[in-house]
C-alpha cells in the first residue's frame, strides 16, 4: 500500500518545463487520492489547455507509477483558480524580491538570442521571411518565438494560422503556440476582429512592444525572431534600444526604389550598433506557371553590392512564388518547403548564440 | 520718349502667378533703365531659378513693349537678396496681420482638394499609384502637388526623378517641380544622401508632415496628392486630423494578408470620417514576357468585396508590370503610359472639387 505522502513526494520530481520548479512546490497538485491500487491526481495548470499539459501529465503519471507495481494511475487536468494563480505569482515574486510593478515574466524568461528581421520598406516579404526563419529554426529543434513588432500591420498570426487570444498566466501573458511549436505574440491576437485598425501614436506602439518583451512569458527560447514593421521610427527604435538584439536580418527586393529605402534600415541598424547578419533578396524572379520560364519581375537587383557596402553576408535570393502567397494566406507557412530558404537558415543558424 | 515711371506703371500689370500681386508691389523690380528706345528691367525672383521665371519675364517684356513702337526691351533675371526677401515677407505678414510664428505659406496657399493615397500595408504600390494619379491629373491640365507623408520610407522624389533641395522663398519652402510640372515635397529632398535613415519617433514625424502642409508654399493647386506610409500610426493620423483631406484612395494587392491590413487602413479612414473615393487593386496579375500568358502571382483578390463592404467604388485592377518598376527606378513615372490607370484617373477626377 502506498500513501498520499509518497505520491506527493514522487510528484516533487515532476518539473514544470517552463518555470523549472516542481509542480508540488508550484501549488499545481490540487489533490492526490489513494484508494488501494487506484491513484488519482488532479493537477491544476497555470493556464487552461497549457501547451505543455501532455508533458506534465505524462511525467506525473510516470513518477507515480514507479512507486509500486500494478498501480492504476489517473491524472486529471484542470486549470488554476485566480486565487491559486495569485498565490503562485506572490511566491515567485517573493523569491525574486520583486516589486509588483516589475514583470515576473521579464525576470524569468531565458531568451538566448534575439534576431530582428527588418527591411525599412513594406511588402518585400519581411514577415514571410521572419516566419520562414522561425519555422526553419524550429524544425532544427530550436525553441523559437516570434514577436510581431508590427503593431499597425501585423501579419504573423495569419501566416502561422494562430488565432487564439493569449492567456494570462501567473507569470505573465502566455503566447499561443503554432502547430509547429513556435510561440507567437502579436497585437492581432488581442483584437476583436483581425481587421480592426490600431490607431495609435508612437508612445503606445512603444509600450506595446515593451510589453511584448517584458510581460510575455516566453520561458526558455533559443531564439526570438522579431518581425519589424516598415520604417525607422518608433517600432524599430524601441526594438533596437530596448531588446537585446543580437543581429538583424535585412530583407530587400530587386527594385532600386526598395534598395534605397532598405539601405535606410541598414544604416539605422549600423547607427544603433546592431550587427547585420546578412541580406536576403526576395522576389528576385518569378517562374511562369505556363511556360516555366524565369523572369525578373522587379528588374535586376544589386543585393550583393548592398551586402558588400554594409560589410555583411548576402544570404540568398528567393523567387516570387505564388504558392508562398497561398500558404501564407492559409496560415500554413510551417508546411512550406523551400530549399533556397533552407540554405538561408543554415547560414543564419551559426549566428544564433 | 518713355519714362522710367511709365515702365514701372506698365510692370504693375505683371502679376506674380503664385502670389497674385504685381511684381512692383512685391519689390521684385530692382531696376528699370530707359535709354532712348532701349529699356532694361532687372527682376529679382523670390527664389533663384523660380519655376515661373519664364512666365514672369515674358509678361514683363510684353507689358513694357506696348508702351511705344520700336522699343528694345531687355529683361534680366536675378534672385532676391535675403533683405529683399525679408522685406517682402514682412509686408505680406503685415497685410495678413500675422504673428511671425504663423506660417505665411499656410495662409496664402489655395489648395482646392486634398486626396490621400493609402494602403495600410507596404509594398502594394501605393507610392506608384499616388505618382500615377498625380501625373495623370497633371496631364489633364490640373495644378497638382504631391506631399510625401512617408517620412521614413520616402519614394516620391525618386519616382519623379526630382532631386534638388527645396529653396526657402519669402513665403515659405518652395517645392521643386517635376518635369511634368508637379510640385513635390518630400523629406528625401532635404537629406544629404537619399539613403540616410530618418530615425525619428512619432512627434517629429508629425511635425515634419505639419510643416509640409503649413510651411510649404504650394500656391494654387487643384489637387494635392498625399502619399501616406504603411500603418495607422502617427503619419496617417496627422494627415487625417490636420489636413483637410477630401477623400482617400485605397491601394491593395490580391493577397488575403494584404486584404486584412488594407482593411485596417480603410477602417481608420471611416473612423476619422474621411470618405473613401475608391479602391485600386494593384499587382493583380503578371504577364510572362516569354509566352505572353497572364497569371495571378499573388492569388485571386477580393477587392470588389472589399469595395462593397466599405460602400465605395472598385476603381480598377493593375498588372504587375516590370516596365513600371523600370520607369520608377529611372524617375520617369510621368512618361509611363497605362490605359488601365487612365481609366482610374477618369473615375477619380470628378471627385476632385
ipTM reported for the complex, 2 dp:
0.91
Beta carbons within 8 Å of B285's beta carbon, 6+ residues apart: B294, B295, B296, B297, B317, B319, B320
Beta carbons within 8 Å of B159's beta carbon, 6+ residues apart: A257, B127, B128, B131, B328, B331, B333
Which among B12, B46, B80 is the end of a domain? B80
Do residues A241 and A228 lie in contact, with contact meaning Cβ atoms separated by under 8 Å?
no
B55 in the same domain as B116: no
B111 in the same domain as B39: no
* Cα(A283)–Cα(A277) distance, integer angstroms: 20
- Using the Cβ of A122 and the Cβ atoms of chain B, whether some distance falls under 8 Å is answered with yes
Widest distance between CA atoms in chain A: 78
B30 in the same domain as B178: no
B24 in the same domain as B124: no
Q: Is residue A233 part of a domain?
A: yes
Query: For residue B151, what is the nearest residue in chain A, using CA coordinates?
Result: A231
Residue range B110-124: mean pLDDT, rounded: 96
* Cα(B177)–Cα(B159) distance, integer angstroms: 13
B255 in the same domain as B198: yes
Strands A110-111, A220-221: pairing kind = parallel
Do residues B178 and B162 lie in contact, with contact meaning Cβ atoms separated by under 8 Å?
yes
Give the CB-side neighbour count of residue A4, counting CA atoms within 13 A.
11
Residues 171-230 of B with CB under 8 A from A: 194-203, 205-206, 229-230
- Residue A69 sits in a domain whose CATH number is 3.30.300.130
List of chain B residues whose C-beta atoms are within 8 Å of the C-beta of residue A320: 297
Contact check, Cβ <8 Å, B153/A198 = no
Burial class (CB in 10 A: 0-12, 13-18, 19+), B63: buried
| Each residue's pLDDT tens digit, B226-258 | 999 999 999 999 999 999 999 999 999 999 999
- Smallest CA–CA distance, residue B62 to chain A, in Å, is 45
Which among A54, A73, A95 is the end of a domain? A95
Q: With the CA atoms of B59, B60, B62 and B63 taken in that order, what torsion angle do they form, in degrees rounded to the nearest 10?
A: 110
pLDDT band at B75 (very low <50, low <70, confident <90, very high): very high
- Residue A287 sits in a domain whose CATH number is 3.40.50.300
Do residues A264 and A232 lie in contact, with contact meaning Cβ atoms separated by under 8 Å?
yes
A266 in the same domain as A161: yes
- The pLDDT of residue A248 is 98
- Smallest CA–CA distance, residue A80 to chain B, in Å, is 36
Contact check, Cβ <8 Å, A158/B291 = no
- Using the Cβ of A273 and the Cβ atoms of chain B, whether some distance falls under 8 Å is answered with no
User: Which residue range forms the structural domain that includes residue B61?
Assistant: 4-80
**CA separation, residue B154 to residues A259, A260, B184, B186, B340 (Å):** 12, 9, 12, 7, 25
- CB count in 10 Å sphere of residue B80: 23
Do residues B194 and B201 lie in contact, with contact meaning Cβ atoms separated by under 8 Å?
no
- The pLDDT of residue A129 is 97
Q: Any alpha helices (H) in chain B, and if so which ranges?
A: 4-11, 53-65, 82-95, 104-108, 126-139, 156-160, 202-214, 234-242, 256-271, 303-309, 322-329, 339-348
- In the predicted structure, residue B155 carries a pLDDT above the cut 80: yes
A330 in the same domain as A199: yes
Q: Is residue A192 part of a domain?
A: yes
B334 in the same domain as B247: yes
| Each residue's pLDDT tens digit, B26-41 | 999 999 999 999 999 9
- The pLDDT of residue A277 is 98
Domain count, chain A: 2
Q: Is residue A202 part of a domain?
A: yes
At A319, which helix (H) or strand (E)? strand A313-320
Q: Is residue B101 part of a domain?
A: no
pLDDT in tens, chain A (353 residues): 899 999 999 999 999 998 999 999 999 999 999 999 999 999 999 998 887 899 999 999 999 999 999 999 999 999 999 999 999 998 988 887 766 666 889 888 999 999 999 999 999 999 999 999 999 999 999 999 999 999 999 999 999 999 999 999 999 999 999 999 999 999 999 999 999 999 999 999 999 999 999 999 999 999 999 999 999 999 999 999 999 999 999 999 999 999 999 999 999 999 999 999 999 999 999 999 999 999 999 988 899 999 999 999 999 999 999 899 999 999 999 999 999 999 999 999 999 86
B131 in the same domain as B75: no
- Using the Cβ of B260 and the Cβ atoms of chain A, whether some distance falls under 8 Å is answered with yes
Q: Is residue B307 part of a domain?
A: yes
Strand partners, A22: A15
Q: Is residue A101 part of a domain?
A: no
Q: Is residue B60 part of a domain?
A: yes
- Using the Cβ of A237 and the Cβ atoms of chain B, whether some distance falls under 8 Å is answered with yes
Q: Is residue A100 part of a domain?
A: no
- The pLDDT of residue B86 is 92
A129 in the same domain as A81: no
- The pLDDT of residue A274 is 97
- The pLDDT of residue B98 is 64
| Each residue's pLDDT tens digit, A274-313 | 999 999 999 999 999 999 999 999 988 899 999 999 999 9
Which among A60, A95, A130 is the end of a domain? A95
* Cα(B332)–Cα(A139) distance, integer angstroms: 46
Report the range of poorest mean pLDDT among A310-324, B76-90, B98-112.
B98-112
* Cα(B91)–Cα(B24) distance, integer angstroms: 13
Taking alpha carbons only, the member of B42, B35, B72, B37 closest to residue B56 is: B42
Strands A29-35, B167-169: pairing kind = unpaired
> CA angle B234-B191-B134, nearest 5°?
65
In a mutational test of the B interface, the residue from A128, A151, A160, A197 whose CB has the highest number of chain B CBs within 10 Å is: A197
- The pLDDT of residue B1 is 81
Per-residue DSSP letter, B180: T
Strand partners, B286: B295, B320
A66 in the same domain as A132: no
Residue range B303-311: mean pLDDT, rounded: 96
Contact check, Cβ <8 Å, B202/A198 = no
In a mutational test of the B interface, the residue from A241, A256, A261, A330 whose CB has the highest number of chain B CBs within 10 Å is: A261
Cell, residue A51: 501547451
Considering only the beta carbons, identify the residue of B159, B264, B272 that sits closest to A196: B264
| Each residue's pLDDT tens digit, B184-215 | 999 999 999 999 999 999 999 999 999 999 99
A115 in the same domain as A86: no
- The pLDDT of residue A104 is 87
- The pLDDT of residue B100 is 61
DSSP calls for A110-154: EE--EEEEE-SSTTSSHHHHHHHHHHHHHHTT--EEEEE--SSS-
- The pLDDT of residue A29 is 96
* Cα(A337)–Cα(A333) distance, integer angstroms: 9
List of chain A residues whose C-beta atoms are within 8 Å of the C-beta of residue B299: 322, 325-326, 329
- Using the Cβ of B158 and the Cβ atoms of chain A, whether some distance falls under 8 Å is answered with yes
Amino acid at each position: 500500500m502506498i500513501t498520499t505522502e509518497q505520491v506527493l513526494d514522487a510528484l516533487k520530481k515532476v518539473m514544470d518545463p517552463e518555470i523549472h520548479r516542481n509542480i508540488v512546490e508550484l501549488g499545481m497538485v490540487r489533490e492526490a487520492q489513494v484508494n488501494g491500487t487506484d491513484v488519482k491526481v488532479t493537477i491544476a495548470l497555470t493556464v487552461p489547455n497549457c501547451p505543455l499539459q501532455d508533458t506534465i501529465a505524462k511525467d506525473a503519471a510516470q513518477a507515480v507509477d514507479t512507486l509500486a507495481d500494478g498501480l492504476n494511475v489517473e491524472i486529471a487536468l484542470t486549470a488554476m483558480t485566480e486565487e491559486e494563480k495569485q498565490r503562485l505569482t506572490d511566491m515567485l515574486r517573493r523569491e525574486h524580491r520583486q516589486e509588483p510593478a516589475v514583470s515576473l515574466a521579464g525576470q524569468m524568461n531565458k531568451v538566448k538570442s534575439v534576431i530582428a528581421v527588418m527591411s525599412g520598406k513594406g511588402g518585400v516579404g519581411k514577415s514571410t521571411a521572419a516566419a520562414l526563419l522561425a519555422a526553419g529554426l524550429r524544425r532544427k529543434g530550436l525553441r523559437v518565438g516570434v514577436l510581431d513588432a508590427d503593431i499597425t500591420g501585423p501579419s504573423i498570426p495569419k501566416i502561422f494560422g494562430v488565432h487564439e487570444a493569449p492567456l494570462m498566466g501567473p507569470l505573465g501573458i502566455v503566447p499561443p503556440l503554432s502547430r509547429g511549436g513556435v510561440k507567437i505574440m502579436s497585437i492581432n491576437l488581442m483584437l476583436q476582429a483581425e481587421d480592426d485598425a490600431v490607431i495609435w501614436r508612437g508612445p503606445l506602439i512603444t509600450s506595446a512592444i515593451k510589453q511584448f518583451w517584458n510581460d510575455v512569458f516566453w520561458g526558455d527560447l533559443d531564439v526570438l525572431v522579431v518581425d519589424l514593421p516598415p520604417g525607422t521610427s518608433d517600432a524599430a527604435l524601441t526594438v533596437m534600444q530596448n531588446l537585446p538584439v543580437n543581429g538583424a536580418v535585412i530583407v530587400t527586393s530587386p527594385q532600386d526604389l526598395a534598395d534605397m529605402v532598405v539601405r535606410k534600415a541598414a544604416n539605422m541598424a549600423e547607427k544603433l550598433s546592431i550587427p547585420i547578419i546578412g541580406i536576403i533578396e526576395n522576389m528576385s524572379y518569378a517562374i511562369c506557371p505556363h511556360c516555366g520560364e524565369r523572369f525578373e519581375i522587379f528588374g535586376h537587383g544589386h543585393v550583393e553590392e548592398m551586402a558588400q557596402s554594409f560589410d555583411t553576408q548576402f544570404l540568398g535570393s528567393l523567387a516570387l512564388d505564388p504558392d508562398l502567397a497561398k500558404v501564407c494566406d492559409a496560415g500554413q507557412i510551417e508546411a512550406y518547403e523551400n530549399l533556397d530558404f533552407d540554405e538561408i537558415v543554415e547560414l543564419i543558424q551559426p549566428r544564433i548564440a
